Every structure is written in structure tokens, then in C-alpha cells.
Structure 1
Amino acid sequence: MELRQILKGVAFLLTTVFGFTGNVVVLMSLSSTAHQQNKMLPADIILTLLTGSNIVLLITVGLPNSLFNLGIKLFYTDLDCKINLYIDRVSRVMTISLTCLLSCLQSVTLACSNPKWIPLKYNMQKYLILIICFLGVLGASSSVNAVLYSVVTTNFTDQKPTAHLGYCFVVYPDWLILQIIGFFIFTRDFIFVILMALASCHILFMLYKHGKQMKGKRSSDRIRETTTEQQVAKMVVSFVTLYVTFFGLENGIWFYQMSDKGAHPDLSNVRHFLSFCFPSSFPAVTVIFNQKIRFKLKCGSVDHVARRL
């Protein structure tokens, strides 16, 4: 095996392990806090489901890519490939849609100083489970192509367009079908990205407005008025910034590959790596801005030290 292939495999594996471990820690902290308080805020419900989606995405994308680049074949049947790729696609949709939902909810929450926004916040919280179910149905129904065209091996002498995932192939009947599916998926994801970007801009405006109001107050008052909602808002903006960055890079590469059929094969590796960079960086951002999780981790480390003593 070439050194370059080993380095790619190690990079994929380290990113996957780091992301998986971090997301599990965040999920356990959120679950423990919810159990102790016997309730979950709407933002925490979305954050918990988003963390779970990240874990599934890392298992179905990061792990197979890591093992393949290290020379380990994971799948042996077309059915295994179809199931893995379908779960991967659905969890990807849930990740982007839940990030969008979280940003929209937080934007509305910060805007509730204006009475006009209160009914929207109330309805979003009241029908939160229904909204999440709708997003799940959307993800499941719009990812069926992964089941239709995924195979473990393919005949490279055929002229059919093929997406080479390493551990799996997606063989489309012709270029027209590939482009229709590709642009549909891009449009679906782009709508979510635009919504979360607009929500984040509104959040930044509200934070800027609040900052100007705080200028005339004493530092002790400022500290008192640094609410949990504002910390969550900063966390959401960081999420959106990361997602938009990775989404832009990944889709920029995809458009280039569509326009140049002779594009270098390593571009696919870069695109696959970018596809799970957000789930891997998600835990770090969450811990930085979420006070409840930081407190939980601090208490856990103190308890661990106390038991050792």
C-alpha cells in the first residue's frame, strides 16, 4: 500500500474517531441533564437529535471511508452497500435540516422581544415533533436513489456514469439521471442552507443590537444579562458558519466534477472527507458554547478524580 493511501486512511480514521467520541460525550451529557431535570427544552431536543444524526453519519461515511483507504474491505453484498448508503443519505439530510431548524428556532426566540414573533415561537415549539417527523420523512423519501443504484462492484467497461465511493459504487443509468438527481439534492440542501444563513444573519443582528444596549451598563450588569439564549445563539451561528463553509467546498468540487468528466479521482476523496467534517467539529463547538455540557463534563471529571483518590 502506498504511503499516500495510508496517510489518507489515517486522516479519515482520526477525524472519524474524534468526531464519534465527541458526539457520544455530548449525547450522554444532554441525556444526563434531561434525566436530572426531567424535561428538555426545544433547543435541547433538536441538539440531541442532531448529535445522534452526526453519530450515524460518522459510522456510515467516516468509518467505511477510513477502512477502505487503509485497505480493509467492509462490504460484501449489494444489500449491505444499499443499506449503508441509504442510512448515510438520510442522516445527512437530518443533519442539515436539524441545523436549519435549530438556527430558525433560536432566531425566533431572540426576536421575541417583539410581540409579533411570539406566535411563531409558540407554534414552532408546539409542533416541534411534527416538524422533526416531516424532516425525517423528507430525508427518507428523497434518498431512495441510494437504494436503487448502489452496488459493491461494477463493470468499468460500461459507459454508465459511476460515483466511486471506494467501498461502494453508485451506477446511474445515464448522465441525465445523474444530473437530475444531483441538482435535486443540491436544491434541497441549498434551501436549508439559505434558511439557516438568513436565520444566522438575524441572530447576529439581534446580538449586535443587544450589545449596543449593554454599552451603557456596568460590567456586572452585562455579565448578569449574558443569557443562556445568547450563548446558544452564538453556538448556532458557529454551527451554520461551519456547515455553510463545508457545504460550499463540497458542492464546489461536485460541480467541477460534473463539468469536467476527467477530473482527478482524488477530488472524490476530498469531497467525501468534507462530508463528515461538520459532524466531527460539532462536539468542539457545542462544548465551547453550551454551559450545561461544560458543567456536566467538569462535574464528571471531578467525580472521577474523587473516586481515584
Structure 2
Amino acid sequence: MASKDLAIGMIFLLQTTFGMLGNLSFFYHYIFLSFTGCRLRSTDLIVKHLLVANSLVLLCKGIPQTMAAFDLKDVFNDFVCKVVFYLHRVGRGVSIGTTCLLSIFQAIMISPRNVRWAELKFKAPKYTVFSLFLCWIIYIAVNIIFPVHISGRQNTKNITNLKNFGYCASVHHDKISDSLYAVLLSVPDALCLGLMLWASGSMVYILYRHKQRVQYIHRNNVSPRSSPESRAAQNILLLVSTFVTFYTLSSIFQIFLALLNNPSWWLVNTTALLASCFPALSPFVLMCRDASVFRFHSTK
């Protein structure tokens, strides 16, 4: 085994372990709150689905990449490759969609209490379950033809027009079909990204205006700590910047991976690492934003 394969295998293993511990710990926190009878917020259900989607991404990307780096590729036959790639794509899509939903619902909840927003504030929690169900259905349907392009390496020995991912391979079709399929996959992601940026920008603007209105209260506060509005805005920006940074980088590398017929070892592994960065880090960002997590652990 080459030293570079050992190094990348350890990186994938640490990333997957670190991310799974974060997602499972946060999920356990919500399970504990449910059993103790605590009232959960409407956004907590969205966060739980985000944690499930993140775990799906980490399991279906991190574990296969780790096994491939350690030269344990025999288990990846044609069926396993199709299932693993499909579940990863669904998990990735739902992770994007639920992050978008989280931002939109938070923007609605902190919106001004005027006539225009009052009805939406009242109805939004009722549509949480439907929105999550629709999110799963959309990405399950959009990615249903994804396994057609994936095959086990042992089944592609006589095929020259393929792209090697280490443990599985992608078979190329005609460029028009590949381009149309790439657009089909990108439209929901681009829509979610745009909505999330709009919702997060709206939250920052609302919090800024609220801070301006109550500035005279904070002016009399001699504490060096920043105001609650500023801390909330910083937390929103932290989550959004984490999402946008890693998914933008991941998308760029995915484009290069799709355009090159024979991608390098470095490009394949870097793309896989970036694809799992947000699922691995987001639970820790969410825990930093959720004060109830620290109250829960401090009272145990």
C-alpha cells in the first residue's frame, strides 16, 4: 500500500468518525429531550432530518473511500456500487434541502409581528412535515437514474469509456445526455442555495433593524459582551458561510471531475473529502448555535 493511500485513508477515517460522532451526539440530544417531555421547536424536526441526511452522506461516502484507500475494494460489486452512490446522492440532496428549510423557517420565525407575516408565522410550523417529506421525495426521484451511470469495477474491464472512482466506476454516455442530466441534478441544489442565501440575508437584516431600534438599551449596558441580536446574526452567518463555502468548493471540484475523462488520484479524493466536510462539521456548528445543548449537558 502506497504511503499516499494510507494517508488519505486515515483522513477519510478521521473525518467520517468525527462527523458521525457529532451527528449521533446531537441526535441523541433530541431523543433525550423527546423522552423527557420537553417541547421541541418546529425547526428541531428539520435539524433531526438534517442529521440523518448528514449521516447518510458520511456513511455512503466516507466508509467506501476509506476502504478503497486501504485496498479493500472486493466488496463493491455492481449492486453495492449503485446503492452506495444513490444513497449518497440522496443524502447530499436532502442535506442541502433541509439546510435551506432551516434557514427559511428561522427567517419566518424572527420576522416582524405585522399583519403580512402573522398568518405565515402561524401556518409555517404546520407545513414542516410536508416540506420535509417533499424534500426527500424530490431528491429520491431526481437521483433515481443516477445508478445507471455507476458500475462495479469488475464489470467495466472491457469498457474504455469510464471514470474510475477507486472502488466504483462511472460509465460515460453521450455528451448531450450527460449535460442534460447534470442540469437536472443541479437545478434543485441551485434553487435551495439561492433560497437559503435569501432567507439568511433576510434574518441578518431583520436582526440589524431590531438592534437599531433598541440601541438605546444596549448603549446603557456597560457589559463588553455583544448584544443578543449581534450574536444571533453572527451564528446565522457562521452556518451559512460554512454551507456555502464547502458546497461551492464541492460543486467546483465536481464540475472538474465531470469534465475530465481521466481525473487524477488527487482530484478524485479531494472531491470526496469536500463532499463530506459540511455533513461532518454542521452538527458542531448547530450545537454552537443551540444553547439548549449546553444547558442539557451542564445539568447532567
TM-score, normalization: structure 2? 0.89
Residues 58-117 of structure 1 deviation map (CA, whole Å, 9 limit, x = unaligned): 111111111211222263421122222221111111100000000001111111333311
Residues 175-230 of structure 1 deviation map (CA, whole Å, 9 limit, x = unaligned): 3222221222122211111110111111111122222234211439999x848xx8
Which amino acid in structure 2 is aligned with residue 219 of structure 1?
N
User: Does structure 1 conserve the Cα–Cα contact (< 8 Å) formed by 2:163 and 2:261?
Assistant: no
User: Does structure 1 conserve the Cα–Cα contact (< 8 Å) formed by 2:82 and 2:151?
Assistant: yes
- Answering whether residue 14 of structure 2 is matched by residue 14 of structure 1, we say yes
Residues 15-72 of structure 1 deviation map (CA, whole Å, 9 limit, x = unaligned): 1100000111000011211222353211111111111111121111111111211222
| 1:126 matched residue in structure 2 | 126
Q: Which residues of 2 match residues 1-309 of structure 1 at below 5 A?
A: 1-73=1-73, 75-153=75-153, 154-155=155-156, 158-160=159-161, 162-217=162-217, 218-219=220-221, 226=228, 234-261=234-261, 263-300=263-300
Distance in 1 of aligned mates of 2:18 and 2:63:
12
**Across the two proteins, how many residue pairs are aligned to each other?**
297
* Unmatched tracts of structure 1, length 5 or more: 301-309
| 1:307 matched residue in structure 2 | none
Pairwise CA distance, 1:124: 2.1
Pairwise CA distance, 1:128: 1.4
Compared with structure 1, are the counterparts of its residues 144 and 172 closer, same or farther at alpha carbon in structure 2 (3 Å cutoff)? farther
CA RMSD of aligned residues (A): 2.5
- Counterpart of 2:173 in 1: which secondary structure? coil
Compared with structure 1, are the counterparts of its residues 93 and 232 closer, same or farther at alpha carbon in structure 2 (3 Å cutoff)? farther
- Counterpart of 2:111 in 1: which secondary structure? helix
* Unmatched tracts of structure 2, length 5 or more: none
Residues 110-154 of structure 1 deviation map (CA, whole Å, 9 limit, x = unaligned): 113333112223222112111111111101101112332321114
User: Does structure 2 conserve the Cα–Cα contact (< 8 Å) formed by 1:214 and 1:222?
Assistant: no
Distance in 2 of aligned mates of 1:56 and 1:231:
31
Compared with structure 1, are the counterparts of its residues 277 and 169 closer, same or farther at alpha carbon in structure 2 (3 Å cutoff)? same
Pairwise CA distance, 1:233: 6.3
Residues 263-294 of structure 1 deviation map (CA, whole Å, 9 limit, x = unaligned): 53421211111111001111221221211111
Residues 231-262 of structure 1 deviation map (CA, whole Å, 9 limit, x = unaligned): 77654442221111111111212333444545
Percent identity, please.
Answer: 22
